[in-house]
Homo-oligomer: A and B are copies of this chain.
């Protein structure tokens, strides 16, 4: 057994939470560029090494803040399960709530921060960014595949491409400051894409 009993004083879970809370607050207040490990530590009432012991870099910390923030918003963005009925309807519904969640200023700031972190250190991009969308990405792809199996969608469609377009367009609008237009465009996009892969 890899029992691996931990030695020494265990890490304080309160410190974990205090740091994440502080980081989120700083992020929302000062943005990604305005976030420093020093400020986070001070705000959390924690020593700098206590922060570095848990997160090796600003990027990693921001990643976890965004992850937690997204998880908190998760209930609003129900991940649909393949059912007997209308796959297109389910996808459209998910996309609508996903877009709405992303339009929330709080989530928008977190996504921006996450993108900054990912773009700054490309080697972390995969783990940082995709980790947050992977679960949903897969769920929607599954949904589309089920639709293909049931004859609702064309079998030569590329479900990954469709999902990339859905998530990517929202990200693009967020980044370019066009978040306000997102909900309307989301409708049009979902309709066009799903019509485009619908079996004739």
Contacts and interface: CB of A to CB of B under 8 A. Distances in A.
Q: Is the interface of A mostly helix, strand, loop or mixed?
A: helix
Nearest to A184: B158
A93 B43 CA distance: 52
Contact of A162 (B116, B175, B192): B192
B172 A33 contact: no
Interface of A: 31-33, 109, 112-113, 115-116, 118-122, 125-126, 129-130, 133, 157-158, 160-162, 164-173, 175-178, 181, 184-189, 191-198
B177 A122 contact: yes
A109 B125 CA distance: 13
Contacts of A109: 122
Contact of A185 (B112, B121, B160, B186): B160
25 contacts: A109-B122, A112-B122, A113-B119, A115-B116, A116-B116, A116-B119, A119-B119, A125-B175, A130-B177, A158-B187, A158-B189, A160-B181, A161-B185, A161-B189, A164-B185, A165-B165, A165-B168, A165-B169, A168-B171, A168-B172, A168-B173, A172-B172, A192-B196, A192-B197, A195-B196
